[in-house]
Amino acid sequence: SIQVYGWRRVMASDAQRKFTELCQLKYKEQAVWFLNGFWGDGVDSATCNRVWELIRKFVELDLLGADRKGENGNELDQFWSAKFLEDMDTAMPSIQRKEAFRAIDHDHNGKMSAIEYLVWKFKKGVPETVNAPQGDNAAAIKKAQEALDAVIAQLNECEKKLEIQKRAKEESDAALAELHRQQKEYDDKIATLQAASSDSSKTIVQRNKAANELAQLKGEDPLPLRKSKLTQEAKDRALQKAIAELEAAYASLEKKMAEAQEQLEIIKKKSGGGKGALWWMQRELFEVDKSLPRAKQRFDHSKPFSYDP
């Protein structure tokens, strides 16, 4: 009937409006919505790894675009969308990529959001996507995300401390090299004067002059050498301070990572959905761990990431 048809149009319009709102979320949030909603329905841990790489590509190309929002972005313009399809769907001919873009661009704004691409890639519909269940453990997921955000912030702090430590090491090495140069110059001069002061082929005046200079030189280091020693000692102290601060930052990071992992384990033990969000946070923790010195890593990075929430 006309009444039923009109109702369906309203429902479809409402779904499109909600889908447009999803397209405005950040890349990660779009991906998590999709993974949450279709977990067990074409989405599993292996699929998540593929989606992770797709989102990384979105972020990479976004940073090359005009706005350069990166992780804070939500969609690629037509040029970078074409580049995305060229890189990530290599088996597709150019003409098909243009047709694919038209099919992907549900809101017809000439851009491609992550969730538009995922809906097309995994053959899902707009209504089922906007109504896809997100779980009833939002509070627990939010708490875990806050713990993970603290990890990311501390990782950034560690990276800053690492750069400081690297610069301190370079300056310390340069100061030590200069000290060695000055010391060698001093030692060579001592050896030359010692040889001259006992050289029988020289006159007594020449030998005495060399002996006097030798005594003066041995009595006190020359100013450049003294300065090099002081500089090297200062640079070494700065290096030791930088190392201590870096170790303290890593210790804090390890503590925050353990806290975040604890929150993820709590979510995993309880039913309530949100498996896509749980997988994503665990992958983020894995990537943080990957950036640590090998001795501090907790995960096995010799194998591809695998996690079943």
Closest CA to 207 of 194, 190, 191: 194
Q: Which residues lie below 8 Å from residue 113, measured CB to CB, with a gap of 6+?
A: 22, 23, 24, 30, 74, 75
Q: Is-contact 273 137, C-beta < 8 A?
A: yes
**Distance, CA of 9 to CA of 157 (rounded, Å):** 52
Instruction: Please give the structure tokens belonging to residue 207.
Output: 């030998």
Give the pLDDT of residue 74: 97
Give the pLDDT of residue 12: 59
* Tens-level pLDDT at each residue, the chain (309 residues): 444 444 344 445 788 899 999 999 999 999 999 999 999 998 988 899 999 999 999 999 999 998 899 999 999 999 999 999 999 988 888 889 889 999 999 988 999 999 999 999 999 999 999 999 998 888 999 999 999 999 999 999 999 999 999 999 999 999 999 999 999 999 999 999 999 999 989 999 999 899 999 998 887 788 899 999 999 999 999 999 999 999 999 999 999 999 999 999 999 988 777 999 999 999 999 999 999 999 999 999 999 899 988
Give the pLDDT of residue 15: 87
**Distance, CA of 118 to CA of 106 (rounded, Å):** 12
Give the pLDDT of residue 10: 40
